[in-house]
Chains A and B, each alone.
Chain A
Amino acid sequence: MSKRFRTHLVAGALAVAGALASLSGVAAQTVKVGVIGQFTGPYALAGKQLRESIDAYVAQYGTKSGSQTIEFVYKDIGGSNPALAKSLAEQLIVKDGVSILTGFFLSPEAAAVAPVINETKTPSVLSVAASPPLLKMSPWFVRAGQNLWQPAIIQADFAADNGKKRAYIAVADYAPGHDVQEAFTKRFKERGGEIVAADRIPLNTVDFAAFAERIANAKPDIVATFLPNGAPAIGFFNALAARGVTKTAMIIGIAETDDPDLPSYNDNIIGVYTSIFYAGGLTNPENVALKKVMAEKFGANHAIGVNNVSPYDGIRLIYRMVEVQKGKFDPDAAMTAVKGFSWNSPSGPKQIDPDTREMIHNIYVRQVQKVDGKLTNVLVKTYEKVGVPKL
């Protein structure tokens, strides 16, 4: 009987909530944005950065875009769970009535959501997910971050530009690692280099000594790598330094030495290069403004990571989608508005490729150096307006 009473209560509350929602919908034009993030679990740092970026953007530009107000609805995945991502996307669209989705840290999440947004025509901004084939799965996807081929190709270009000939590839044994291996191999061979060996390192590896030994024995002049941030990357670079590889070869990674991770490293990391779409030291006005607002909101020691920057660009795209709306949300108009759209972001000039919906942006090669006694990513070379090549 108490159950029946409770269902009555719930039904009543729902009716009231529904009436309120429809009222507010009439009073002010609101566009709801569903955010599917990793707010708990092993990837919670990325979820935190996503949230920070949204808060920072709202602090800078408010919640209004054009004539409409933007409201964010947050949902947590809490680990690698594509099926849950799909179910959350359905809930957000059907129940919460969101018009745009964003978030998507891991690529499988986005892949699972693709059929849903194809059916409901929901523009979705990939804030971090970097798997190359994603955008082919749905015409409603647009990429705010990088396509993993971009940094991998710049790894190869940078090595070739510096006269390196013998490459050793060491990547984590999961889909993103395989993508990097594929793109690097192709480009480096095109540039006349040789791949002496390629290792796929299991994700749960804790002792990298054996891999460092193999690499040292192969005597490469460049080691291209891509490992998850945190403990694996730290262990790997320490092992390389212990075996002396850091001295004898150029080592180039992708996101391993991200600014927020840098304090966890010791001096073994000095000299390592990375190739990615952001460098904390950029002095463009957008980056200066972003650093200022982040410092105000999250403390002076807050370091901006790449997983802050691409979600921030994602929010820029969402504001652009909403800006062009007149009255009822029109998904086609939203997509048209971002195709070919270009703007200045904290990470430099950006443009969405009108055909592929990939990001055309600068890729920066950075080197870890000790500046004023502190480990710092120093910008070494900028590759401008890198699009996504056909492999």
Chain B
Amino acid sequence: MSVDRAFYNAAERNRFGLLEILFWLCPIAAFFLFPTSLSFATHVLIMALFAMSLGLILSFAGIVTLGHAAFFGLGAYVTALLSLAGYQEPITATFLGGAAAAVLALVIGPLLLRLTGLPLMMVTLALGAVMFEAANKLGWLTGGENGLGDLRYQPVFGIFRWSIYGQTAYFYTLAWLFVLFLLTRSLVASPFGLALQGIRENPLRMNLIGAPVTGHLVRVYTISAFIAGIAGALSAQATGFVGLDVLSVDLSINALVMLVLGGVGNIYGGLVGGALYIVLRNLASDWNPYHWMFVIGAFLVVVVLLGQNGVIGIVERLTSLISGQRKETSP
């Protein structure tokens, strides 16, 4: 893969571009435009966060995994179990969910990340399946197929109460998403991020110049797992329910689909793709509860055929067509 300068531009500059600011105004606008759809909008944000966590390792470190839901699920279950055990302070509960996922990644990372490509995909797929089956069998802990329901959390900062109308959940999730996005953005732009891109392009050469390849990969894998765990924890808090679906292989694959849809190789890829995928799925299944998958499939085919880099790629090429020259563009 040749390195396109427009590839990770947004993070290359340290100043926020106008388009980036506009992008982050969208979720604020959504709050006022769709006040009755906030619980759905929260779900959109959570999936965008999850896709972003996968994007961090896939786009910037070249780690292709089919088991990322393991971290999402672990975060969700840890936060849920904390609530059931009586620990209901929301912010630390979310953090602990992410931390648990990070610990898991730290433990398995050194073993997993010696693999690349197809073997890595197979092993992560197996890992995801094992986690799913373990949760299914440990019914006394996870509730098995019935899941863990009726999770309660204290008001955020002791003021904002959780309700089914979802204002609290929405802004709480948005705050986490924004903070973690800033972290990801600065990470990608840092020397560490550059080293990761070096590993993605040529691990052998990085080894030869003395870079700790596996160490770097484990570090970014752990950070990504932390973010995925946070996304899972947020889903437990926002829905007040955790079921086996948080560990399903479908979820891992969906995250990959979101990333491809949005654009691999741009830090906004996961955010755009995740939001687009969930919104589209919802609109399509509202339109026709029987044949909505057809719409999704057709859309994916079109995007993949047209854009080399998802929706962001299409937008970039359109803007360069219009301006008549290739220049740096933000998503």
Contacts and interface: CB of A to CB of B under 8 A. Distances in A.
Chain B at the A interface: SS class = helix
A82 B145 CA distance: 9
A75 interface: yes
Nearest to A11: B33
Nearest to B163: A119
Contacts of B250: 79
Given A11-B33, A75-B289, A108 B240 contact: no
Given A11-B33, A83-B239, A91 B146 contact: no
A108 B145 contact: yes
A314 interface: no
A275 interface: no
A84 B245 contact: yes
Interface string A105-135: 0011001101110011000000000010000
Interface string B250-273: 100000000000000000000000
Contacts of B43: 87
Contact of B241 (A79, A94, A112, A120): A112
A94 B36 contact: yes
A41 B285 CA distance: 13
Interface in A81-100: 81-84, 86-87, 90-91, 93-95
A305 interface: no
Nearest to B26: A3
Interface in A146-202: 174-175
B39 interface: yes
A84 B285 CA distance: 13
A34 interface: no
Given A82-B243, A93-B164, A94-B36, A7 B29 contact: yes
Contacts of A108: 145-147, 243
Interface residues of A, number: 39
Interface residues of B, number: 35
Interface string A7-49: 1001100100000000000000000000001011000000100
Contacts of A74: 289
Nearest to A76: B289
B285 A115 contact: no
Nearest to B244: A80
A78 interface: yes
B203 interface: no
B48 to A, nearest CB: 16
Given A107-B146, A111-B147, A115-B150, A83 B243 contact: yes
A80 B293 CA distance: 16
Contacts, number: 100
A164 B267 CA distance: 68
Interface in A211-230: none
B171 to A, nearest CB: 17
Interface string B268-290: 00000000000000000110011
Interface string B27-46: 00100011011011001000
A83 B293 contact: no
B245 A114 contact: no
A80 B40 CA distance: 19
A76 B292 contact: yes
A380 to B, nearest CB: 33
B16 to A, nearest CB: 18
Nearest to A48: B290
Contacts of A47: 289
A115 B240 contact: yes
With most chain A CB atoms within 10 A of its CB, the pick from B26, B34, B145, B293 is B145
Nearest to A134: B146
A111 B285 contact: no
Given A39-B290, A75-B289, A87 B149 contact: no
Given A74-B289, A95-B37, A80 B245 contact: yes
Contacts of B289: 37, 39-40, 47, 74-76
A131 B146 CA distance: 10
Contacts of B39: 87, 90-91, 94
B81 to A, nearest CB: 16
Nearest to B30: A7
Contacts of B40: 87, 90-91, 95
Contacts of A75: 285-286, 289
Given A37-B289, A94-B36, A86 B240 contact: yes
A305 B285 CA distance: 26
Contacts of B244: 80
Interface of A: 3, 7, 10-11, 14, 37, 39-40, 47, 74-76, 78-84, 86-87, 90-91, 93-95, 107-108, 111-112, 114-116, 119-120, 131, 137, 174-175
8 contacts: A82-B243, A83-B242, A83-B245, A84-B245, A86-B241, A93-B164, A112-B147, A112-B241
Closest 7 CB pairs of A and B: A76-B289, A82-B243, A95-B36, A39-B289, A90-B39, A112-B241, A81-B245
Interface of B: 26, 29, 33-34, 36-37, 39-40, 43, 144-147, 149-150, 163-166, 235, 239-246, 250, 285-286, 289-290, 292-293
Given A82-B146, A94-B165, A114-B150, 9 more contacts: A74-B289, A79-B250, A80-B245, A83-B245, A86-B240, A87-B39, A95-B36, A115-B240, A120-B164
